[in-house]
Structure 1
Amino acid sequence: MAFADNLKQLPAISHLAALELIDAAGNVAATIENKPGKAGSLAVYAALAAKHGGINVAAAEEGLVIFAEHTDDARANPGKHPNIDRLLDVIASGQGFTCKLIAA
């Protein structure tokens, strides 16, 4: 399925302003905001966090499937899709993130 089709299967994120990714040291490693160009990534990360309890290797692998055609583009163009690059890094390193949801 294409990313747009996969997004339709994910829970709504209208109640979220953002999601913070917290590293093992307790620092905010990244924030994904609910705004144009980022809302899709927020939906993916929020769904993965709800299912897996955070972003671990299993969540990252599932995320790459959800991102569909964008995953191939991210692999071919490192830096173009930072939220996908982050999932690839989680798989490579085994170091995941806990997630904090920020209400809208």
Structure 2
Amino acid sequence: MTTFADHLRQLPPVSHLAELQLINAAGQVAATIENKPGKAGSLAVYHALAAKHGSINTAAAQEGLQLFAEHTESARQHPGSHPNIDRLFEVIASGQGYTVRLVQA
């Protein structure tokens, strides 16, 4: 099985980013993923998904759950422990996605 760490090695670098903002349908910043330890992996996943899909939509969320690999099952079993994965579950369940704003470092 391919792990989250394996997937991260395949994703584009994010060292040029300070953060990534998720913008809801009302144009408000719904969430921010900072480029810092413990969050940089999520930043890399969301950055790659937005580049490929143009936004965080249902298709992007489904791919994201695959990229998060073993952490996806942990998030299913422990809601709230992985908020960036929980957000992908919500996008799939609601069909409501996010546009992405990249903030340069």
* TM-score normalized with structure 1 length: 1.00
Identity %: 73
Note the 1:45-84 alignment, pairs <5 A.
45-84=46-85
Unaligned runs of 5+ in 2: none
> Which residues of 2 match residues 1-104 of structure 1 at below 5 A?
1-104=2-105
Secondary structure class of the residue paired with 2:102: strand
Superposition CA RMSD, Å: 0.2
Partners of 1:20 and 1:48 lie apart in 2 by 13
Q: Secondary structure at the match of 2:14?
A: coil
Q: CA deviation at 1:98?
A: 0.1
Quote the Cα distance in structure 2 between the aligned partners of 1:54 and 1:19: 12
Q: What is the TM-score normalised by the length of structure 2? A: 0.99
- Partners of 1:5 and 1:47 lie apart in 2 by 14
Cα shift readout 1:27-72 (whole Å, capped 9, x = no counterpart): 0000000000000000000000000001000000000000000000
Structure 1: any 5+ residue segments left out of the alignment?
A: none
CA distance in 1, matches of 2:55, 2:48: 10
